[in-house]
Amino acid sequence: MTEVPRPPLGSPLVEVQDLALSFEVSAPLPVRLINRQPRAYVRAVDGVSFTIPRGDTFALVGESGCGKSTVARLLVGLYRPSRGSIHFAGQDLIAAGKSRRSMAPIRRRLQMIFQDPYASLNARWRVERIVAEPLRAQGFCQSRSLTHVPVKDSEVLAAKVGALLEQVGLSAADGHKFPHEFSGGQRQRISIARALAGNPEFLVCDEPTSALDVSVQAQILNLMRDLQRQLHLTYLFISHDLAVVYHIADWLGVMYLGRLAEVGPARQIFAEPQHPYTRLLLDAIPDLEMSGRPRRPVAGEVPSPIAPPSGCSFHPRCPLAQERCKREAPAALRQANGVTVACHAVEEGRADGDFELHKQNAN
């Protein structure tokens, strides 16, 4: 396999523009004809745009059902978007006319780490075969098993698998075991080793720590940070846990009902959140320092994406909602601090005072 030269860190690696995807959830045709119902669609992703620099971590956060995982699957090619563009290293991943074979050299440069480490591993395969599968698929060898390749190739492949396992904190001898013989954290290490087997540049991490204990989460996060520095990896990190995101993200996008409410440098958003939804999410983080600061977690339920609210989709739950918010969808406006926010209250300059007053009244 020929290694593709990597441009310098900090240059754009992933550029997403106006990405959208709708799923049809219509009733069967006879039912629709009898009841005179139109076709129904779920707008899972609705006009998402962001850029991920090389070597950085971009985190997408939000409540369950906001479209985070759908964005992840769009980026790795599991779904085809309804509209929008995805550019990876300057190349269009969804350009019309490109065949699956012509896109293979590009797609092998990005890999995915899934939420459930056990469900994402083949329970009938030994770990050595699981980790070696990407190598075989990319032409390292043509055999389905380490035991059916020439001795020389088999030794080289086994050495490569052993090195990958050691790189993620396991031993080469663990390659002879099955997934059920490992703990949850160890299984996720195996998933990371498998993702690294093809020497990728970009890893899409779909809640990789949410199924793990808190202590194990810290170990996996530290491992991912170390690997990022060593291999100059770029991450898209999907999570609903802002406390986890705080420790790993360079850039942050806050999603609500398929749209980005706020996006920008992570430290800036954590220090000075502007969108009411972002502020309410931060208020839901446990206050371990017991500062006594007034807190108000997000109230209500996420509306149905089949029939989203008019205007700003967050207005039924927003403490700052006014009549304009119910009629007009807010435009995403870039602020002086580099953060892009889609909120009428922020645009009109009334977010800070109104939000603090509302919190005082609520308490």
pLDDT tens digit sequence for 58-72: 999 998 888 999 999
Within 8 A by CB and 6+ apart from 77, the residues are 93, 103, 107
- CA pair distance 329, 109, nearest whole angstrom: 37
- CA pair distance 318, 300, nearest whole angstrom: 10
pLDDT of residue 154: 75
Nearest CA-CA partner of 105 in 88, 119, 120: 88
CB 85 within 8 A of CB 18: yes
Neighbours of 134 (CB within 10 A): 20
Within 8 A by CB and 6+ apart from 283, the residues are 295, 296, 297, 298
pLDDT of residue 288: 56
The pLDDT of 80-85, averaged and rounded, is 92
Average the pLDDT over each of 8-12, 83-87, 128-132, 227-231 and give the range with the smallest value.
8-12
The pLDDT of 19-26, averaged and rounded, is 91
DSSP helix/strand/coil, 341: strand
Please write down the long-range contacts of 344-352, taking CB distance under 8 Å and 24 or more positions apart. 344/312, 345/276, 345/318, 345/320, 346/274, 346/275, 350/320, 351/274, 351/275, 351/276, 351/320
Q: How far is CA 184 from CA 180, 181, 190, 218, in A?
A: 9, 10, 10, 13
Radius of gyration of the chain (CA): 23
Cα-Cα end-to-end distance for the chain: 62
Q: Considering Cα of 240, then 204, then 256, then 272, what sign does the dihedral take?
A: positive
pLDDT tens digit sequence for 180-210: 999 989 999 999 999 999 889 999 999 998 8
User: Which ranges of 232-271 would DSSP assign to H, the alpha helix?
Assistant: 242-248, 266-271
Is the pLDDT reported for residue 346 higher than 70? yes
| Token pair of 31 as six digits | 């039912």
Domain-wise residue ranges, the chain: 12-109+200-287+297-362, 119-199
- Local structure of residue 324 (DSSP, 8 states): H
DSSP helix/strand/coil, 228: helix
Is the pLDDT reported for residue 293 higher than 70? no
| Fold for the domain defined by 12-109+200-287+297-362 | Rossmann fold (3.40.50)
pLDDT of residue 334: 92
Q: How far is CA 300 from CA 286, 324, 344, in A?
A: 19, 21, 20
The pLDDT of 42-50, averaged and rounded, is 92
CB 153 within 8 A of CB 145: no
Q: Which phi-psi region, left, alpha or beta, contains residue 325 (left: φ > 0; alpha: ψ -120 to 50)? A: alpha
Higher per-residue confidence, 96 vs 100: 100
Q: Are strands 234-238 and 57-61 parallel, antiparallel or unpaired?
A: parallel
pLDDT tens digit sequence for 221-260: 999 999 999 999 999 999 988 888 988 999 999 999 999 9
Higher per-residue confidence, 206 vs 8: 206
